[in-house]
Structure 1
Amino acid sequence: MANITYCPRCATELDRRFDGGRQRIACPDLDCGFIDYGIFSIGCAGVVLREQAGLIKALLVQRGQEPFAGMWQLPGGYAEHNEPLTLAVEREVFEESAITATVRDAIGFRHMAGGIVNNLYMIFRLHYESGEPQFDGEETADARFCSLAEMNDMTGVQTITRWGIQQALSTSSGSGLSRDSAGELRPGWQVFGLTDVDASVWKQR
């Protein structure tokens, strides 16, 4: 948390404490135990593939607002603090494009450290269910399904977007990290793992 003076838990004036190998802003009241570990956010985006006229196309939206207005990207956004990741990406895809799609697996992520916010950006593969691309003219300036060849002729397709689409096209659906309900032992948990597990390898260990 940037520029905070008082503890958000108990309102005691904050001090500094050595913790985890570095000095951190912390509450001096040890019964409280608050330590500022920084600001973190989780972004999520969906690769939605659809066959049209014999071509596999991916859903893209064009940003209508700064930063990066005019850039083409995967539909997505930030997960709310109390929102499961799978629901977050399905919601963002629908809000930005009016496309209904369901999560199959996680196929990649990008971690960005060193800025004001430490951000993790998760890319999911989604199964197209229904709808045609729509945009609101404000947050999104356009929305459409595009082939890789069409993207090559477009200006402003984000590099991480191309990478995510290539990940989806070069791997089988469900081969990434999928939800494993057996590991979801507490309320609010979502656990993801590889489903194509070789039991013989596990037994050897």
Structure 2
Amino acid sequence: MAMSSTAATICISQTRDTIGFISSPTEIITTFPPHFIRLPVKQRTRFSLQSSSDVPQETATEVESENSVEASNVPYSLISALNVEKALRGIAITDANHYGRLGIQMGCPYDQVPAAYKQRCEELTNQGLDEDMLSKKLELLKESYYILSSEEERRLYDWSLARSGTSDKYVWPFEVDITQTPTEDPPPGEEEDVGPTRIVGYFMVAWLVLGVTLSIALNRL
């Protein structure tokens, strides 16, 4: 059977979807007379794969950076189970002298801590130290300021100082807590009425004298 040699024009269009896959091609065939034969076209599916590790990697990097920033902003703290155990055993929880750094005495009010911290910072700034040394010393002052200005931190620090100084005698935390210690003189008590007490005393003396007198009289009989 004779076949026409006229070539059929075939257009294949492909569309890309939103997830990176190429959709199935659409076959467009021009209209031919009945004596023409339509040639089949083999469809080839192409896939475009995209690694899913790109986006999670960026997300993980962002989360890691946020955690590192939060960790760097955490102030110094002495509160931990290990330090509490050391204080119970009479072991010093730190070798830092926070009171000496700020130039204040143990047991001073809380309102003296900010003033002492500010004064010490000004003194260090006026000493003409290099930038690295000044930064280290200011960081130590900042640590001492945080410990002594916080009630919880200072209570544990003072308790540790009291326990390490007298390890043979137990000291309770409230004994060194300045918030539990009265800073004002106690109110004067009411005057005691000594009248009844004086009467009872006179009665006892009279009864004693009477007893001695009767005893002597009975012995002479």
TM-score band by shorter chain is under 0.3
With structure 2 as the length reference, what TM-score do the two structures score?
0.19
Considering fraction of residues, name the structure with more strand.
1
Larger radius of gyration between Structure 1 and Structure 2: 2
